[in-house]
Amino acid sequence: MYGITGHTRFGGLLGSPVAHSLSPAMHNLSFRTLGIDYVYLAFDVGEEKLKETVSVFRDLNTYGFNLTMPDKKRIIEYIDSMSEAAELTGAVNTVVNENGTLVGHNTDGIGYTESVREQGFEPSGKEVTLLGAGGAGCAAAVQLALDGVKKLHIVNRRSGSWKAAGDLADRINKHTSCLADLTDMDDERTLADLIGRSDLLTNATSVGMAPDTEETPIRDASVLRKELVVSDIIYNPRETLLMKQASAAGCRTFNGMYMLLWQGAAAFRLWTGADMPVDLVRNTYFTSVGT
Q: Each residue of 26-74: pLDDT tens digit?
A: 999 999 999 999 999 999 999 999 999 999 999 998 999 999 999 999 9
Mean pLDDT of the chain: 94
- DSSP H helical segments within 75-148, as ranges? 84-89, 108-118, 135-146
Q: Catalytic residue positions?
A: 72
pTM over 0.85: yes
Which 3 state secondary structure label does DSSP give 40? strand
**CA-closest candidate to residue 111, choices 249, 232, 258, 253:** 258
Give residues with Cβ within 8 angstroms of 136, minimum separation 6: 108, 112, 204, 233, 256, 259
Q: What is the pLDDT of residue 156?
A: 96
Q: Each residue of 97-120: pLDDT tens digit?
A: 999 999 999 999 999 999 999 999
Architecture of domain 110-255 in CATH? 3-Layer(aba) Sandwich (3.40)
Q: What angle do CA 27, 270, 94 make, to 5 degrees?
A: 75
Q: What residue ranges do the domains of the chain occupy?
A: 9-106+259-286, 110-255
Q: Each residue of 18-29: pLDDT tens digit?
A: 999 999 999 999
Query: Domain 9-106+259-286 - what CATH class?
Result: alpha beta
Query: Kind of pairing, strands 101-105 and 9-15?
Result: unpaired
Average pLDDT rounded to a whole number, residues 187-211:
96
Contact 163, 175 (CB under 8 A): no
